[in-house]
Amino acid sequence: MKSNIIASLLCLCTTLAQAQQFTPVPLHWLNTHPTTTTGVSWGMPWPQGQVKKNTTFTLLKADGTSQPVQSWNMAYWPDGSIKWTGFAATGDSASDKLSLTMVQGATQPAVAQPIQVNEDAKQVLINTSALQCTIAKTGNQLIPSLTINGKQVAINGQLQCILQNSPDGDLDNAPVRQKLTGAITKVQVEQNGPLRAVVRINGRFSAADGSHSLLPFIVRLYFYAGVQNIRMVHTLIFDGDDQKDFIKGLGLTFGVPLREQIQNRHVRFGGEDDGIWAEPIQPLNGRRPNPYIMDQALGKPIPNAESSQAQGVTLQNMARWNDYKLIQNSADGFGIQKRTNGASSWLDVIGGKRASGLAFAGDISGGLAISLKSFWQSYPAALEINGMCTNMAKINLWMWSPYSDAMDLRHYDTMAHDLNVTYEDVQAGFSTPHGIARTSEIMIYPYTAMPTNQDLANNAAEANNTPLLVTSPEYLHKVGALGMWSLPDRSTKGKQWIEEQLDKALAFYQQEIDRREWYGFWNYGDVMHSYDASRHSWKYDIGGFAWDNTELSTDIWLWYSFLRTGRADIFKMAEAMTRHTSEVDLYHLGSFAGLGSRHNVNHWGDGSKEVRESQAVLRRYYYYLTTDERTGDIMHESAINADSGLLHVDPLREILPKSKYPTHARFGPDWVGLVGNWMTEWERTGDVKWKNKILVGVNDFAKMPHGFYSGKGKDAGMGYDPLTNHMYQLDSNDIGSLHLATLMGGMEMAYELTPTLNNKDFNRLYLQYCSLYGAPLEEVQAAFGKDVKVTLGDPQADYARQPAYVYFITKDAKFAQRAWDQFLPGKQPRFGSTRFDWQVLKGPMVVKPLYEIRNVSTNGTAQWCLNAIELLQLAGDAIPEHNPAWDK
């Protein structure tokens, strides 16, 4: 008893002491602050040792009052202190200037009305106070009912899919179609208040007669205390046969009860930007003046039929429009149509360029709005509202529009194109989409009164820019979060020149995405690999030069750029890229699970299936900043599955003969990719089993004669046993160069691993690896003996961060100079004095006005920018004063 009291006193003192040292961390909204009460989740990092487990936090508002937050541990330091904390809170327009602070357990402000989650064998009931939602545990109605204080606003929330057995376009052989609905297989409450509840639903699309069941899906529903909306994150995994299964439509549908007379019912669609297309079901502006038309247009109540004979006669005679659709068939155009009934034609209403993705169906006493994030960017998409003249409307949000061609996931050609000629690496059976996925984000907004157009515009804006609280770049930098990156600094001519190049590179790609239209359901988020100046086009149709698929860490370039600037526009690019590359460019099930696909004309077309595209290192930024559960699952899958993937697909099967070891791996990108997965799993769970996997390899390398260079030949192949995680030299004389280990996220992984692992052997080997890459022969011989007759790697700009790292650790000025010499343009700069200057193309030589940088390749851009960002941090104090690039 006594010792218990002492223990708790001690505990309290520690918490008090901790809280006293803790300076509140300012937070701001990444985009504008929310306009209505809504939920937000975000992640924050801490330096090692600062935040203990079970710490409680609170949000401070500008007026000094505090607001409760929910928090959970996302990652741990090896000493058990917290590395990343996830937070959830509700925010509104009043919560503009916030900061986060630590409090002693007892003084955390209580949540006035915590979210209520009640679960039984059949269903989960959520009550946020502002909204009551039923989630079924079996069947195909994911959300049987949405209620606001006793009033049912929507029913029968279902996923639906239309599948056909052949592609569209063959007029003599019409495809046979089948309708499937999303059938629930498992429901799990992942988080249960007080402020946020998360429910995960797993299922498969199934035919009503049970004849067909395929296409697994994962839906997460996010609820916040006191909040009237629901956020849905929907993932579809393709496990069909690309020759036989063509998805014609993929959507979410709800029934919306209508209680008012026809003249008081309305539909709304989000148009361009904050535009809203708004119409009553029965517009009353006929031949005779009608006193109600202005009110009706605004969605205000107008008299019922019984109110007067004139009103009755008007309502009897004016047309009633039952069905509506908005179809976005390309990134450039949408069209709206409506019809009175199924026996009558569609009427074209109006069109526009890029619709915001919102639909509302309801009447003056309420209804439902749903909005798809990145709607036009993910075309073909559609919104559809049916049955507005019945007492139950149906609202459909189509993530894949059934009014467009069916999804065709077959490879782009039936023959492989030679690697040496087209840079493509295609092998039979490998160009398969079996196992790829796509995640879509949807906001659901129930209403018990007619929303104004402004309300709906706000909803669409929120759906497209998920609210996020972020800390400043300075804070993230001070904490050393997520690697080795510099804050922008224009204090010298050289630094200013570099910042200009970085800005131009981002601006160029940002505009290229738009000008070249890198959009579409399966493409949005990715960029192209290389440019073809002869056609003024990217090589979208040439073998291994088309989609980038993370080649040379494009994702990390964007995330480092966000971390150092805090710019919302860069976040949007990076977020779209992570969503794309983490879903489409890797396999979530099947024999390639845990591996990704190399760059190709189709994202999944290349025969090279590797860890380099599936590695967690590419996904950590988005996960930790947003707490996104789906991304967390993907990183976990990679850690669990990559080893069996490597056993199944030897990454060097085309280059090296089979050895006595189960498969091959290189120090990088394979082993460093696996290490990044294990590091992430270790810090997320605190389970040292993952750390031990890393140490197995470190200990193996420590015994090898050439450290990390102990692989065979230019690909540095080694033996690998995925069951034990041991790495083996194929021959004790092997020594090989390792350029991909640096370029494919290995360096960025190591920046994060080094302080976490804190292992002498790893540190020594890594420093050796960085100091010998591109070093003169004497230095290699000094390290490995006179028998070694090879240099290791080219001293090129892409690898400049290796000597820079050696300088950072040792402060040996020779390495700083080597880094800057490698990185900066020499007397005759290869790219001219500016790196990312574009030319404008117009007139008959191009299809429309375009820009180009003639020799641009994304691998080059990503690596140049990453090196720049890292060099400024590692060796910024040693940047030369003069260089032809900025001495003009």
- What residues make contact with ligand NAG under the rule CB under 6 A? 53-54, 113, 116, 127, 129, 132, 420, 530, 545, 743, 798, 854-855, 857, 859-860
Burial class (CB within 10 angstroms; exposed 0-12, middle 13-18, buried 19+) of 445 = buried
CA distances from 480 to 439, 474, 804 (A): 30, 10, 17
Nearer to ligand NAG, 147 or 431 (CB): 147
The span from the CA of 125 to the CA of 142, in Å, is: 12
Task: Please state, as a whole number, how many other Cβ atoms lie within 10 Å of the Cβ of residue 779.
Answer: 15
Q: How big is the CA angle at 219 (ends 240 and 547), to the nearest 5 degrees?
A: 55
Nearer to ligand NAG, 316 or 534 (CB): 534
Residue nearest to ligand NAG (CB): 530
Q: With H, G, I as helix, E, B as strand and everything else as coil, classify residue 121.
A: coil
Taking the complex as a whole, how short is the minimal distance between the CB of residue 544 and ligand NAG, in angstroms? 9
User: Any residues with CB less than 8 A from the CB of 294 and at least 6 apart, and which?
Assistant: none
The span from the CA of 28 to the CA of 844, in Å, is: 47
Nearer to ligand NAG, 222 or 571 (CB): 222
Cis peptide before 68 (omega within 30 of 0): no
Taking the complex as a whole, how short is the minimal distance between the CB of residue 239 and ligand NAG, in angstroms? 33
Taking the complex as a whole, how short is the minimal distance between the CB of residue 612 and ligand NAG, in angstroms? 12
Nearer to ligand NAG, 129 or 166 (CB): 129
Taking the complex as a whole, how short is the minimal distance between the CB of residue 739 and ligand NAG, in angstroms? 7
State both tokens at 114.
């915590």
Q: Render 510-570 in DSSP notation, one character per residue.
A: HHHHHHTT--STTTTT--BSBEETTTTEE-TTSGGGSB-TTTTSHHHHHHHHHHHH--HHH
Taking the complex as a whole, how short is the minimal distance between the CB of residue 246 and ligand NAG, in angstroms? 33
Taking the complex as a whole, how short is the minimal distance between the CB of residue 531 and ligand NAG, in angstroms? 8
Which residue's entry shows tokens 């039929």? 305
Nearer to ligand NAG, 125 or 293 (CB): 125
In a 13 Å sphere around the CA of 619, the CA atoms on its Cβ side amount to 33
Taking the complex as a whole, how short is the minimal distance between the CB of residue 489 and ligand NAG, in angstroms? 27
Taking the complex as a whole, how short is the minimal distance between the CB of residue 873 and ligand NAG, in angstroms? 22
Nearer to ligand NAG, 511 or 855 (CB): 855
Give the residue among 366, 356, 324 at the shortest CA–CA distance from 459. Answer: 356
Nearer to ligand NAG, 508 or 562 (CB): 508
Q: With H, G, I as helix, E, B as strand and everything else as coil, classify residue 283.
A: coil
User: Any residues with CB less than 8 A from the CB of 611 and at least 6 apart, and which?
Assistant: 594, 595, 596, 638, 642, 645, 646, 651, 669, 670, 673, 674, 677
Nearer to ligand NAG, 286 or 832 (CB): 832
State both tokens at 352.
């526009």
| Cβ 495 vs Cβ 872: under 8 Å | yes
Taking the complex as a whole, how short is the minimal distance between the CB of residue 869 and ligand NAG, in angstroms? 18
The span from the CA of 820 to the CA of 801, in Å, is: 9
Nearer to ligand NAG, 545 or 557 (CB): 545
The span from the CA of 353 to the CA of 151, in Å, is: 37
Nearer to ligand NAG, 117 or 753 (CB): 117
The span from the CA of 746 to the CA of 481, in Å, is: 17
Taking the complex as a whole, how short is the minimal distance between the CB of residue 357 and ligand NAG, in angstroms? 30
Nearer to ligand NAG, 568 or 841 (CB): 841
Taking the complex as a whole, how short is the minimal distance between the CB of residue 616 and ligand NAG, in angstroms? 22
Which residue's entry shows tokens 């697994």? 216
